[in-house]
Structure formats: C-alpha cells, structure tokens
Amino acid sequence: MTDIKEIEIQPQEKKSCSGSKCMVSRRTFLLGSGAAAASTVMITMFPGTSNAKKVKAQVARYPRKKIGNIKRLKTGKPVGFNYPDKGDYSTQMLVKTGTHCGGGVGRSKDVVAFSTTCSHQGGDLEGTYNKKYVTVGQCPFHLSTFDLTKHGMVASGQAYEALPQVVLEVDKKGDIYAIGIMGLLFGRADNLKS
C-alpha cells in the first residue's frame, strides 16, 4: 500500500543487547505492513518541500504477542486486549472495520488496533468506537475524535498526538500478533516502562 512504499529499509545492524533495554526481543514494526524485519526505518519528512530530508524514524523494541485470530473477529465489534504489558494504559482495542485502514492487516487490510486512552488528557475511549465513520470518540473529557482509517489521526479535537496504533501482523493461521506501538501511550513516559 501507498504508505509502505515511502519507507526505505536499511540492512539490519546486529547488536548484542544487555541490561534493561533488552528485556524484550528486538523487533521492528514496519508501519502499515504485516512484514517483520529488524530495521532502521528511514522516512522522508516534509516531502515535496525544500525541507525534505531523510530521518531515522522511531524504532522501538516490543514484545510479539498473540492477541487473537482474524477469523473470530466480527466486523464493527471491537475486542479488548492488553499490550505491551498488563500495566496502566495497556488496554487496547482490536477491530475489524470493514474498511481499508492505514496499517490494517488481513485480506482487506481492515483489521487495526489502537489504544483506548485519549492521547490528550487520558479520557477513557472504551465503548466509543463508531462503526459507521470508523472513528473512536468523542472523548468524554474534551470531545476529541480519531480517524482509525488514517493511523488514528485526530479527526477533530485536542489530542497532542494521534491515537497510538498497535502495529499488527498476521500469520498463515490467521493469528494476529501485536508487534509494536506507534506513538506514546497516555500516562507513560516510555511505552515499555509501566
């Protein structure tokens, strides 16, 4: 899909890990794709302008966790799961939207997962999925709404960041794995420290 093409993959630089930073296996998330390969992701910032430049994007190390099977999902019915741990703000929602979504997996690229905590001031977004518009919100605190077809972009509202998206991949059996998070979960200073 369009968004993948913009990402150049560099050869993996193998490093031995030690200490707390290596408590999880080193993985990459290739934004918007189901493929998994350890990498440094290069992206072009401010494309099409004189400011265009290649920069190193955030590569985080996350656990690979099975969170469900694609055959069991019902369109428009979100299910919850915890990721990357079971600590505060680890509640995420997995949903088959029925619409092609940025970062979506499955045959129709319509299965996505997002945080259920508002990336403004921590409002609880559980139960606010709108299947008609494929949005989450309004947040009960300050009425932010997020567009799940576009990587959780704020559709209208206050959120300081897009709604954090859990990066997914699917294996041949249809098992869905969470492999990373794009964006910082509300309440945390580091996604991997809870």
CA end-to-end span of the chain, whole Å?
34
Consecutive H or E run containing 4: helix 2-5
| Residue 126 engages other proteins in binding (rule: CB under 8 A) | no
Choose one: 12-20, 64-72, 146-154, 171-179; the region binding other proteins (CB under 8 A).
Answer: 146-154
Separation CA 115–CA 17 (nearest Å): 28
Choose one: 12-20, 64-72, 130-138, 169-177; the region binding other proteins (CB under 8 A).
Answer: 130-138
Q: Candidates 17, 23, 66, 160: give the one binding other proteins (CB under 8 A).
A: 160
Separation CA 154–CA 188 (nearest Å): 19
CA 19 vs CA 12, 22, 65, 85: distances in Å:
21, 6, 21, 18
Choose one: 14-22, 67-75, 135-143, 171-179; the region binding other proteins (CB under 8 A).
Answer: 135-143
Q: Candidates 147, 171, 175, 178: give the one binding other proteins (CB under 8 A).
A: 147
| Residue 86 engages other proteins in binding (rule: CB under 8 A) | no
For other proteins, the binding residues in 15-54 under the rule CB under 8 A are: 31-32, 43-48, 51
| Residue 164 engages other proteins in binding (rule: CB under 8 A) | yes
Q: How many residues does the chain have?
A: 194
